[in-house]
Amino acid sequence: MSDANAAGKKKLAMPHVYVLLAIIILVAAVLTWVLPAGQFERAPNAAGRNVVVPGSWHAIDQTPVSPFKAVKAIFDGMVDAADIIFFIFIDYAAISLLIASGAFHGMVSGLLRVLKGKARAVIIPLFIVIFGFAASTIGMFEESLPFIPIFVGIAIAMGYDAIIGVAIVALGVGMGYSGAFMNPFTVGVAQGIAELPPLSGSWYRIICHVVMIIVASIYMIRYALKIQKDPGKSLVAGDDFSKFAIGEDSLNHEFGIRQKLSMLVFLLTLVIFVVGVKVWGWYFGEIATVFLLMAVVIAVIMGWSPNEFSRKMVAGLGDITAACMMVGIARGIRVVLTEGNIIDTVVYGMSIPLQYLPIWLAGEFMLILQTLLNFLIPSGSGQAATVMPIMAPLSDLLGISRQVAVLAFQFGDGLSNILWPTAFAVVMAGIGGVKVTAWWKWLVPLFLWLLLAQAVLIAIAIGIGY
């Protein structure tokens, strides 16, 4: 490669997400000198939650943020988001122990052995549901990447192609995040910022998840059967996938008594989690404690020594550090906007054009905006910390419930992670040996169908007063 070409590629490189967030902080600081400072009046609604009073915005004395304070906002944001950051740290580290136990891998291998050669098309919706459940409950996403080569091999062996193998995993976790009913890293963070009760509105998110699974399964099964009938119609026909040939070890992950007990402990933890939130009013501290206890019990079941347990926890903490930093840096944006007293001004400005739109159309605008924002901030928790402080009061002004604002955030964050090159599209396609251009050619029509389904679900949510 020539130096000129290398230089050209460097120029086209996407800035690191930390750089983008830092730029937003600096832009926010500049805006505190440019935009008029202002505030809305707020009053408790019927549920006792403070919401914006429409038409109450008024100008106040200017309080611009200095360059020094703009940089200090990164530290202040870390402190301000400490409860969310440490919640994510503990939960993710605990969940990483469940993955390390081999319980999830063993369960998948067992199901693959049962389905091998039987009811082939069933594997598509079945494993989409399994990966979707894992994403919806424990926030599994990056942990799914090792499964891609396995499912590429399975799909090819069944007469399909590598795209189906990649899609089973990618769509499973992507739609799992979009329709998550209790994902602590996205729904939990977003509802916490929006001052909504944890897990509230889960019933409708489950419906949304099921709708997306149905749409995707129909699309995938039709394509799979077409390829099975005529392999030449595959978008990756002629490409070499011999390295993905299924080996015996791929279908023989251990799922012994230890792994089964670990999975049982995980399921019991989910039950305690839901009951604690719904009945006892648990929040971040109590939920994190339950997951930490789950990790300890799994370590005992697996026979890990205290040192080994600690090393695995440290590994999990290391894996999630980057995302936790995003949350803190993103919170710095809110710190600057709040200190400059322009966050209400921004919300007021955004509300002016949207007030002339029907409520349902304003909801669709939120969906599109969140989908586009995920191109810049491909982190669910980081994006929630960045946009929910604005979207929550904006939804108050538009007469849209904050649950709908959270739903729009979920839809925009989860599914586009497998589309945008700044997220996981290139990574997932590469692991599966699929050219990213072929992946996009196959995925974009389905993505548009799912986006349409999401738009309809947003409109229904607004219509029923969700």
Q: Give 288-335 pLDDT, tens digit per residue.
A: 899 899 999 999 999 999 999 999 999 888 877 877 887 788 788 888
pLDDT band at 50 (very low <50, low <70, confident <90, very high): low
pLDDT in tens, 433-449: 888 889 999 999 999 99
| DSSP codes of every residue in 253-303 | ----HHHHHHHHHHHHHHHHHHHHHHHH---HHHHHHHHHHHHHHHHHHHT
Q: What residues have CB less than 8 Å from 135, skipping those under 6 apart?
A: 141, 144, 172, 173, 174, 175, 176, 177, 180, 183, 414
Contact criterion met (CB below 8 Å) for 410 and 139: no
Is 394 within a domain? yes
> Which class for 206: exposed (0-12), middle (13-18), buried (19 or more C-beta within 10 A)?
middle
Percent of the chain with pLDDT over 70: 89
Query: Is the predicted pLDDT of residue 228 greater than 90, yes or no?
Result: no
Is 139 within a domain? yes
Three-state SS at 356: coil
Query: Is the predicted pLDDT of residue 387 greater than 70, yes or no?
Result: yes
The whole-number average pLDDT for the span 102-116 is: 72
Closest CA to 172 of 136, 221, 223, 201: 136
pLDDT, greater one: 57 or 176: 176
pLDDT in tens, 405-434: 999 999 988 898 899 876 778 778 888 888
Three-state SS at 307: helix
- CA 392/CA 190 separation, integer angstroms: 9
* DSSP assignment letter at 119: S
The whole-number average pLDDT for the span 163-192 is: 89
Contact criterion met (CB below 8 Å) for 298 and 99: no
Which phi and psi (to 5°) does residue 329 adopt? -65, -40
Is 54 within a domain? no
Is 384 within a domain? yes
- CA 402/CA 312 separation, integer angstroms: 38
Query: Is the predicted pLDDT of residue 45 greater than 70, yes or no?
Result: no
- CA 441/CA 170 separation, integer angstroms: 15
Closest CA to 161 of 103, 86, 95, 240: 240
Q: What is the bridge-based pairing of β-strands 58-59 and 38-39?
A: antiparallel
pLDDT band at 250 (very low <50, low <70, confident <90, very high): low
Contact criterion met (CB below 8 Å) for 131 and 144: yes
Query: Is the predicted pLDDT of residue 6 greater than 60, yes or no?
Result: no
- Token couple for 277: 């939130």
Closest CA to 42 of 397, 430, 372: 397
Distances (CA, A) of 99 to 91, 131, 169, 272, 294: 13, 13, 16, 20, 13
- CA 231/CA 186 separation, integer angstroms: 39
- Alpha carbon 79 to its chain's center: 23
- Token couple for 73: 């906002």
Distances (CA, A) of 18 to 182, 193, 200, 334: 27, 21, 31, 15
Contact criterion met (CB below 8 Å) for 74 and 417: no
pLDDT in tens, 197-221: 888 888 999 999 999 999 999 999 9
Is 87 within a domain? yes
* pLDDT for the residue numbered 448: 96
Domain limits for position 84: 15-28+72-463
Query: Is the predicted pLDDT of residue 267 greater than 80, yes or no?
Result: yes
Query: Is the predicted pLDDT of residue 179 greater than 70, yes or no?
Result: yes
* pLDDT for the residue numbered 271: 83
pLDDT band at 115 (very low <50, low <70, confident <90, very high): low
The whole-number average pLDDT for the span 339-354 is: 81
pLDDT band at 357 (very low <50, low <70, confident <90, very high): confident
Query: What is the chain's mean pLDDT, rounded?
Result: 83
- For the chain, the domain total comes to 1
Give the pTM: 0.69
- Token couple for 206: 């489950």
Tokens 């339950």 sit on residue = 290
